């Protein structure tokens, strides 16, 4: 009998083990697979960055749509200064009435490792009250960096992606006419010194501060290039040993940027814009089971004039009065049970179930966060 009982027990235990293995396998199959990303998309190399350039210049050749010189005296001063540099002297009492000139700010971005002679795109923006920059030409304008040094020169025909017309007091405008662009309108005159990796070390900076992702980057780099090549300083900066030779260093950085790294799970976050009522959630947001009551209160005020006429030959006067009706409607509050969701789709579906508008979501999500039902960081902008 004991042998029979043991024989019965062993198949049952084996069946339970098989069932448990199948459940584990199903759970692993249902779990979302983490997606690897290039290291280039997760981090940037310290020192490899753009630099902003800015300049002040004049746009000439406008068709009567330039600055009104009575309201923008700096335009006249700029024209006089430019003419004096060209050898044209104007009387001090001369009052210029310009219609075809506009004072503008010229902006551009100097890419990393840019060399003299390289061309850049520039954006030209009106400073005064010019009606349009369409058809204008930017006069030679120096572009300066934050250190006050000139790094480029800009000049060319301004292209404005808009149109406008006015006649008889009526006007029509399409897009923006006071900002234009010049493709390849600037030439680099000075290079920015850049000594990336010349001392044998480079620093990778993660776009988002995350200790888990930083440790995974270190593991991926050391697994590919050898041990002790990378070391994390903190949750954002990772130091990597690079070759001293420039050719080897460039090849090393190219291979480094192409490494596949699986980042850590993103932080669950909900962004609320209190001004517009916009609500943005990422896919890591989850919701615990909770009950939400939602109802609307509307107030309607209606005023109508009532005219009272006197009797004939009574000598009275017609009297006009207002009769107001105030109506308050309150929809019954709906108490909905929101089950815990494991995805963003479940959260959105649950909130749409109670008929919440974007403005209502701001208050509802704040209350959910206070109640501990919303598993996410709540950020209000």
Residue-wise pLDDT tens digits, 132-147? 999 999 999 999 999 9
**Does 115 score more than 90 pLDDT?**
yes
* Pairing mode of beta strands 51-60, 102-110: antiparallel
pLDDT tens digits for range 289-340: 777 776 655 555 566 777 777 777 776 777 777 666 666 565 665 666 656 6
State the pLDDT confidence band at 5, using cuts at 50, 70 and 90.
very low
φ and ψ at residue 314, rounded to 5 degrees: -90, -10
- Positive or negative, the CA dihedral 343, 344, 348, 349 is negative
Is the model's pLDDT at 24 over the cut of 90? no
Q: Give the pair of three-digit tokens for residue 367.
A: 């209350």
Q: What is the pLDDT of residue 172?
A: 65
pLDDT at 80: 87
Q: Which helix (H) or strand (E) holds 366?
A: helix 358-371
The separation between CA 351 and the C-alpha centre of its own chain, rounded to angstroms, equals 26
Q: Contact, 338 vs 347, CB < 8 A? A: no
Higher pLDDT, 241 or 300: 241
Please tell me the distance from the alpha carbon of residue 263 to that of residue 216, in angstroms, as a whole number: 7
* pLDDT value of residue 335: 63
Phi-psi region of 51 (alpha: psi -120 to 50; beta: other; left: phi over 0): beta
Q: At 244, phi and psi to the nearest 5?
A: -80, -40
Per-residue pLDDT at 101 exceeds 90:
yes
pLDDT value at residue 199: 83
Predicted pLDDT at 222: 94
Render the burial of 281-308: b for 16+ CB within 10 Å, e for the rest.
beeebbbeebebebeeeeeeeeeeeeee
Task: Output the pLDDT for position 272.
Answer: 81
pLDDT at position 296: 59
Which pLDDT score is estimated for 163?
65
For residue 320, how far is the Cα from the chain centroid?
57
- At residue 278, the pLDDT reads 77
pLDDT digits (tens, 9 = 90+) for 26-70: 333 333 445 788 999 999 999 888 999 999 999 999 988 888 877
Q: Per-residue pLDDT averaged across 257-261, rounded?
A: 92
pLDDT in tens, 188-219: 999 998 878 778 899 999 998 889 999 999 99
Are the C-beta atoms of 375 and 287 separated by less than 8 Å?
yes
Task: Give the range with max mean pLDDT: 63-77, 84-98, 236-250.
Answer: 236-250
28 or 367: whose pLDDT is higher? 367
262-281 mean pLDDT:
81
Paired with 324 in beta bridges are 303
Pairing of strands 170-174, 137-144: unpaired
Name the nearest CA neighbour of 204 among 189, 220, 187, 181.
220
Predicted confidence at residue 305, as pLDDT, reads 73
Rounded Cα gap, residues 42 and 216, in angstroms:
11
Task: Say which range, 97-106, 163-172, 278-287, has the weakest mean pLDDT.
Answer: 163-172
Residue 347's pLDDT band, with cuts at 50, 70 and 90, is low
């Amino acid at each position: 009998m004991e042998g029979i009982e043991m024989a019965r027990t062993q198949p049952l235990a084996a069946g339970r083990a098989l069932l448990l293995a199948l459940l584990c396998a199903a759970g692993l199959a249902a779990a979302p697979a983490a997606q690897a990303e290039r290291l280039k998309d997760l981090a940037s190399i310290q020192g490899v960055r753009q630099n902003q350039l800015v300049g002040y210049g004049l746009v000439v050749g406008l068709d009567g749509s330039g600055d009104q010189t009575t309201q923008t005296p700096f335009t006249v001063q700029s024209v006089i200064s430019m003419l004096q540099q060209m050898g044209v002297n104007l009387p001090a009492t001369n009052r210029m009435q310009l219609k075809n000139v506009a004072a503008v700010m010229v902006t551009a971005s100097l890419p990393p490792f840019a060399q003299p002679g390289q061309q850049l795109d520039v954006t030209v923006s009106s400073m005064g009250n010019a009606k349009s920059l369409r058809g204008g030409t930017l006069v030679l304008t120096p572009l300066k960096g934050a250190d006050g040094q000139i790094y480029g020169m800009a000049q060319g025909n301004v292209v404005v992606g808009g149109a406008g017309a006015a006649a008889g007091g009526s006007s029509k405008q399409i897009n923006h006419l006071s900002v234009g662009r010049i493709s390849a309108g600037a030439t680099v005159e000075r290079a920015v010194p850049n000594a990336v990796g010349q001392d044998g070390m480079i620093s990778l900076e993660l776009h988002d501060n995350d200790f888990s992702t930083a440790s995974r980057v270190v593991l991926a780099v050391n697994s590919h290039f050898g041990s002790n090549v990378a070391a994390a300083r903190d949750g954002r900066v990772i130091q990597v040993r690079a070759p001293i030779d420039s050719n080897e260093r460039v090849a090393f950085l190219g291979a480094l940027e192409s490494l596949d790294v699986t980042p850590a799970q993103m932080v669950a976050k909900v962004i609320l814009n209190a001004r517009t009522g916009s609500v943005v959630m990422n896919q890591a947001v989850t919701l615990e089971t909770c009950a939400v009551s939602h109802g609307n209160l509307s107030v309607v005020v209606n005023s109508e004039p009532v005219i009272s006429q006197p009797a004939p030959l009574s000598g009275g006067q017609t009297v006009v009065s207002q009769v107001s009706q105030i109506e308050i409607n309150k929809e019954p509050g709906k108490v909905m049970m929101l089950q815990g969701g494991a995805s963003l789709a479940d959260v959105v579906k649950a909130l749409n179930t109670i008929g919440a508008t974007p403005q209502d979501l701001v208050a509802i999500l704040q209350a959910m966060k206070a109640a501990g039902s919303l598993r996410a960081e709540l950020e209000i902008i």
